Structure 1
Amino acid sequence: MARKPVEWPPRVFLARSCQAAMKILLSTVLCLCLASAWADHDDDHHDVPDRCLGLEMDAVTVSEEGMPFFFKGHYLFKGFHGKAELLNGSFPELDTADHPLDHIDAAFRMHFENAEDHDHVYFFIGDKVFAYYKHKLEDGFPKPISEVFPGIPDNLDAAVVCPMPDCEENEVIFFKEHEIYHFHVGNKKVEHREFKTMANCTSAFRYMEHYYCFHGHQFSKFDSKTGEVHGRYPKEARDFFMRCSNYSGETDDLERERCSHVHLDAITSDDAGNLYAFRGHYFLQRDGNNDTVKADTIETSFKELHSEVDAVFSYEDHLFMMKDNNLYKYKVSEPHVLAEGYPKPVKDELGLEGPIDAAFVCGDEHTAHVIKGDHIYDVDLKATPHVASNERPLSLIKKVDAAMCDPHGVRVIVGNHFYHFDSIQLFVAGKAIPEQHRVSMDLFGCDH
């Protein structure tokens, strides 16, 4: 007997229909939310600025630790290379949901030893100033600019600190369009001056005791008292203050590499006293006989390496160059010829996994001193197999960018500076860090 079709009671039918509709609605809403979230994520990704595209930075300063900070919109670039990160990750009060940030107008680090706010970092946004110490917002801030710096206008373009004797007194120089304000920190007196030979600054920066005015993605070095600009300026900021491969065509390779403030990746000198210094895609070579300097791409002279060397040392008329987990051995000659069988694993040649931070050999020794992290190792190059031994911690400098040994001692490069130690023992276990020297000026004769 055929079954009769089931006739649902009206209330049951209505309930099941509603359940089905709700499932469809929830699925649709979920899809829309996911699509919206993905779109937002994609938009955020595309909005992240790239310093190598020739950006006009909103503000530039150095942190309490001396690291350059470059600001653009909601983002912060730390140092001379690396990607942007969100500003509110480091200074959350500057960019909040209640007061979203468009851009920072100006920033500087107060750096007068006897000032109450020594090493405070100031940020200027509209008519407000924020003061940070050790990355924490000071009590009572933000405050009106007129309260903290009376006589200084709102909506500034740039600011830079100027200690004696660079300025006649300890001062802060503020820029707004064509107006220049010298604020005397001691008595809060303001002097108006005019810098006739310099374009309007979109940001300003004191670095290595020199003063730089940025206009767009170019900069000029200026006299802090007169504002005068000497030499061939403006210059491309990416050539000197950032590590970018797409350099401008207006700056020659030699000037850029000699005067760049970006740290070196590796450095060494050969038996003839020729110095080799590597940075990004380029290297500098200084002649040991007459101190002339030339620059070229790494790929031109060391074609198997292409770019970005981790460490290098010279031994028995060869350059041993490390990149990631590989070691390349080149004959010191013109052109530089890769030895047969190379590259080889760093582990096989030095007894350590790559990458290596720095390495050097002193004089006629047969020991390679290899730095990895904050430890140094010795490798006997005459022994077989090569084994990393005598591990010991570095006492004074915990992060080394490059190092070399010459007849005068050990030179250790950290950022834009190097330190000279009379012996490896003083470098490894010394009690006092020696005087800083500038890489660009003291090694390569640059004037800034």
Structure 2
Amino acid sequence: MRLLSLPLCLSWVLALCLAAPPHHKEGHSDPHHKEDYAHPDQHGHPDQHAHPEHSHHHDLVRCSGIEFDAITLDEHGVTYFIKDDHLWKGYRGSSEFTNQTFHELHGSIDAAFRMHHKVKPEDHDRVFIFKGDHVWSFYNHTLEDGFPKLINSEFPGIPYELDAAVECPSGECKTDSVLFFKGSHVYHYDLLTHSVKEKYWPAVMNCTSAYRWLERYFCFQGTKFQRFHPVTGHVSEGYPKDVRDYFMKCPDRGHGDKTREALFGRCSGKPFDAFTADDEGKIYAFRGDYFLRLDTKRDGYHYWSITSNWKELHDHINAVFTWDHKMYFIQGDQVYIYKSDVHYTLVEGYPKPVEEELGVKGPVDAAFLCGDSHLVHIIQGKRMLDVDMSETPRKVVKEWPLPFDHVDAAMCGAEGIRVFIGDIYYEYRSPMLLATSRMQPFPHKTRKELLGCDN
């Protein structure tokens, strides 16, 4: 497991609003429809100024209902919402002309996405923008040499005059790929082989723009949006939703709940129930019914319901750790084991009693496992129990006294062990030092030093 040491700050960005006469993509709905999905402020998105938005172009106020031509992140994690020849940076604030940021672009565009292609560093993190039969590539808002190009010369087999595009990294798709949308057709473009598979996804709306954020995929049409699976085209329950409740700050709108934010928000100062990291380095913090991804500093932070990733888990959890490509959740006297893949599938036969699986009677307060070790360290009250995961049946192989009466959470990473008590955490270099140190380390303030909050 790896541990996050950088502060967290959620950074959401809304984009382009174009000043030319309203541009309607052929085959799509009126731009005065509805959209909705994720607020970077109260819900872990970028902390920006909380003013209701008022565009200096009275006919292009996002909250009145606009159909975006494209939505994309850039290499710094800033989200651009693009309409005609204007864009918004973030989900609050006024629009500006697109060519103030992308100088070589003029007029409306068709689609845009941020490339994920680590095998080809010269393309990775570039922002590709499509218009008619041409494509532009930008990095740090600078046009790359050789662009614009014909779309077919950069992406063979992809049609012109696209409606939307979105990246799909390996692990979420089979290989690093791009999904291109035109009408009711979806073109799955494999970046390694340059092969194209044309698909028909009847459940997905004809997307006027598409967007990927933290492994979640969204299709926008008018002011409505859906969340969809990038491989199967399956649309999640409860959609479509209204963009104005999630992707922008609008008066008297939003899916926020001040009570929920006060209890579970990143900067609430409330204790966390558990921390862990999976084998891909995704770092999670759990609090109540919700969790935060702590490895997403560039693209922002947001808290989600636990059931949105691990659908069998309800209510808060006591502890979680990762071992052998699986995530172990301890909830009361039960343990749930999930495969650490993108979709977190519950292993067949679970949940099981903690005592049957780990040789320890539940409940527990915290659990962690360091690096390639096969010892999981389980904390109960003032003691730490070492369980050898390589043995069958599993049992406690060593018991340690602890210098704390109670621990809320703990995790281990490259910088050592962090033990969380209330809004404070302590750092130790090893489990042995945690158990045997007679001097308490310097206390760190969790929400300020780990979560990037103001206090």
- Per the normalisation by structure 1, the TM-score is 0.48
Q: Radius of gyration: which is bigger?
A: 1
- Per the normalisation by structure 2, the TM-score is 0.47
